[in-house]
Amino acid sequence: MSEKPKKRVWARWVVLAAIILGLFLFTGFFGIGLGIKPIMPHVYLPGEKLSETPLFGGFYITNTFVGLILADIVVILLAIGVSRGVKNGKMVLTGISGAVEALMEMLYGITEGTAGKWAKQIFPWFATITLLVLAANWSGLIPGNETIGLVHHYDGHGYDLKQVGPFTTIWDESTAGDEHHGDYAIIPFLRPVSTDLNFTFALAVVAVVMIQYFGFKAQGVNYLTKFWNTKTLFSKPIFGVIDFGVGLLELVSEFSKVLSFAFRLFGNMFAGAVLLFVIGSLVPVFAQSMFYLLEFFVGLIQAIVFGMLTMVFMAQATQGHGDEHHEEAHA
């Protein structure tokens, strides 16, 4: 007889205890709670320095850099887990490794249907970018993300402090109306690296550079005719000018891909982080749960969209352009 799956009853009690604790600490529920007002972080676009001392040269450790290291570690651990499962001869992977395997199979099927014979060379880039962006996006759902950090002085705005423990400071409401109240906020230890434009821009540059690489690898120097098409400029002046203009537009579009990639991912994830922060500051216990689910799917969709667009552009770069297709058809 097969064993019945064990029910994790304890997980329900953990969730219930967390809800009750949140009500008691932050809302003053039924007049018996503490009603703590935590010091809030500020909405800040660039990554914030965790130390005033540079690590080396002019390089500082920022909270988004910590998020990048965390995302890299997650991707490496996933790769190791799947690799060990395959090497151990498991026919069906289970748990997180099985979910990663299913995702990879789906991505490879999409790549094979789009890139054809180039699928094996393009797929590693598609899969790596997708997993890295996914890990970066979902790191924003870790409890304490963007809320646990260092108290830092901000000129002109912030909160006053009130010590309630050896490691805890909260907002002192009694001095909120004081003209000389303190200007303090939180610099979180961890922040999703996908909310930093430096990361999204760098990843976009890598993606666009590799698109050009596959274009030259597949077509050689002829790939440049996509951007500088003068073959029919004199033999067919009207169509030649049109082809030449289209080539220049293609060149502009290659540069615009960097901005499109970078700002699409950055805008969606930064807006999501701000949304969670605002909702959590207004209703810190219940309302965030539905928005966490929303951000879970947004993070997944944005990772797949970024990777898929990169894969599609790589596949397009390996294909011929213009008259080359017609010549092959008549050959």
pLDDT tens-digit readout, 31-49: 555 555 555 566 677 778 8
Which DSSP symbol is given to 60? -
Domain ranges of the chain: 64-148+189-330
3-state secondary structure of 149: strand
DSSP 195-214: GSHHHHHHHHHHHHHHHHHH
What single DSSP character describes residue 50?
S
- What number is the average pLDDT over the span 11-16? 74
Which among 96, 72, 73 is positioned nearest to 84, based on CA atoms? 96
pTM value is 0.77
pLDDT for residue 166:
45
In this prediction, residue 121 carries a pLDDT of: 92
Instruction: Determine the Cα angle at 303 with ends 297 and 305, to 5°.
Output: 100
DSSP state of 221: G
The lowest-confidence range among 32-41, 131-140, 168-177, 296-305 is 168-177
Please provide the average confidence, as pLDDT, over all residues in the chain.
77
Alpha-carbon torsion (89, 90, 93, 95), positive or negative: negative
Residue 240 Rama label (left phi>0; alpha psi -120 to 50; beta): alpha
C-alpha closest to that of 144 among 63, 242, 205, 217: 63
Residues 6+ positions from 330 with CB-CB distance below 8 Å: none
Q: Give 273-298 as a DSSP string.
A: HHHHHHHHHHSTTTTHHHHHHHHHHH
Helix (H) or strand (E) holding 250: helix 237-282
How is residue 123 written in tokens? Answer: 């797929």
Classified as helix, coil or strand, 151 is strand
Average of pLDDT values for 208-234?
A: 82
Dihedral in degrees, nearest 10, Cα atoms 85, 7, 299, 94: 10
> Is the pLDDT at 326 greater than 70, yes or no?
no
> Among the listed ranges 75-79, 296-300, 320-324, which one has the minimum average pLDDT value?
320-324
Average pLDDT value for residue range 2-29: 65
Distance CA 194, CA 67 (A): 9
pLDDT value at position 157?
Answer: 55
| Phi-psi group of 14: left, alpha or beta (phi > 0 → left; psi -120 to 50 → alpha; rest → beta) | alpha
For residue 39, the model assigns a pLDDT of 58
Identify each DSSP E strand in 91-202 by its residue range: 149-153, 161-163, 169-171, 184-188
pLDDT at 303 over 90: yes
**What would the pLDDT profile of 96-147 be if each residue is shown by its tens digit?**
888 888 888 999 999 999 888 899 999 999 999 999 999 999 988 887 777 7
